[in-house]
Structure 1
Amino acid sequence: MNTPIDPTNAPPALPSAPGKSPPEPRLLDQVRAQIRLRHYSIRTESQYVQWVKRFVLFHGKRHPREMGAPEVEAFLSHLAVEGHVASATQNQALSALLFLYRQVLGIELPWLDEMVRAKRPQRLPVVLTRGEVQRVLERMDGVYSLLARLLYGTGMRLMEVIRLRVKDVDFAQGEILIRDGKGAKDRVTMLPEGVSADLREHLQRRKLVFEDDLRADKASVYLPDALARKYPAASTSWLWQYVFVAGSYSVDPRSGVERRHHLDEKLLQRAMKKAVLASGIDKPATPHTLRHSFATHLLDGGYDIRTVQELLGHADVSTTMIYTHVLQRGGRGVRSPLDSLL
């Protein structure tokens, strides 16, 4: 009986004889190549590769070309029923399979467009009061305190502040330029006066680390898209360096270059969790909660919702509208006319 060959991890083929076409790359290598061709993030690459591999293994290592709608539906149903995954996770798996069939295998399957995505539940965001934010910030110190204050003071997402580069902080204008945010969009937010001095001091210390890396010939930094080829000197320039970096070097999984990467976001998440517990707040607050609190407190302070939408980088104002539901002013943030009479 023939055993199935794993298309995701088949051994490299021997060199082809003269005149014959070279062997086709392994499936997962094809997925990685197409993802990098489109300049997707390393996180997207990791997740898509994982889902493609799980899909193939789930169906006994059959090649995706041999499968279709029933197999995709069976896999997604298994994730929901047996795996109890969230709707967002199930949708991510579907997106990975869509990418596999369309971009990697070049197969247009009409049934993929008709496949219904899992409906994400509409939940109200967790928001801290101003007093609770202060209690949490008081229990954080060092670089984590600076990061948390930036999150609350600017409304940035977690990875936006983690990937912040020196050139994108403008002290003269009092603003921060957020590059390649969600949806590959740039936007501008404020640089809070209350954090400006500490950020300057941090950058002074950061530059000392950068100078040490220069002497060790390890000052290069990851550049998006093809900028490394277009501007060869940019990778070792001060302006392109990450503001918040790791304490040691690591190997870039794509290029194989050993260098200093940005700070691991999990460290900030752990510091935030400890601060919330220490402050005695009974809410599941995370670093992203500070972004929710930023938006809610701006609306509560009377700022126009369109302004808040722009600062947050929301594509649709309906996304920003959710914060009106958590304002401490009744349903939808509307003041009752009865209160005006009284």
Structure 2
Amino acid sequence: MPSTSPVISAKNVWKLFGASPQRYLTNMTPGRSYDDIRADGYIAGVKDVSIEVGRGEMLVIMGLSGSGKSTLVRCFSRLHDITGGTIEVEGQDIMAMDERELIELRRNKMGMVFQSFGLLPHRTVLDNVAFPLEMRGQDRHERRARALEVIQLVGLEGREEYFPRELSGGQQQRVGIARSLAIEPDIWFLDEPFSALDPLIRREMQDEFLRLQEMLGKTIVFITHDFDEALRLADRIAIMRNGAVEQCDTPDQIVMNPATEYVAKFTEEIDKARVVHARGLASPLNGTAVEGTAIDGGATIHNLARLLINDTRAHLPVADAKGAVTGVLQRQKALDLLLGDA
């Protein structure tokens, strides 16, 4: 499980595009809407965003095209200089870093994977994966050994001497992921990495990605416009619109308790029983007497369907991954989610 210690902390972050954005922000009347700002000749790529990313967490940022999700992530790595607010990475204000410090941060702490694979066409898989280590000045023997290690990790063993043109789209994406992993980043930014893949390969890459995260425990910020993908991958989801975060919460809470009408539109076609976990529907114990075998808090209500129908207990204890009872699930509430309200 991710730690509560924030690796990335963004507070009241603005990124405005226009002629004199900092002067405009300094003099801006509070409460200006996205459309008001646009009418003044500026675009709010990021609009007063405060958000934290915990250690080992996978935060998925989603929204429609132009919502600001890619701009926000580029602010996290200072590929964009922000107009206002603060961003700290590992407790360091990245806007206060000089060029050398920023390069070191990106080289040693951050990995990035983008939708366009960006592979070097005249280099083999092995050389593509080793490329960032070469740029770091690492010894040839060491970088080859590390590249072989991550190639095996992403399931491309045996294709080390292939060129990108000899690989499928999914295999090329794995090379991009391996290249990013080669530098052993603590923080991993992925900007719609699977959107160019067909649905079957995309599903396989999601499975592979979840396997890698289970093994490596990276801190990940993952951008997507696909709500199903967000629900499948995320510890928490931040839904953006017009540069602002409409809601940031667990998939269970996004589906069960959308904070705005806009968020509700994303969830209206979702089969909630396939998304909501027992722990997400459970209430604190608060002295409630529970008996019998506990159910797995990590299981979805859909996966628990047969048990819920056959078990006659009104209240079911819910356990965490270590078997400790952490809450209580009202059977009727779960059945209503599964079958619809009576």
Q: TM-score, normalised by structure 1?
A: 0.22
Q: Of the two, which has the highest radius of gyration?
A: 1
Bigger proportion of residues as helix: 1
Bigger proportion of residues as strand: 2
Q: TM-score, normalised by structure 2?
A: 0.22
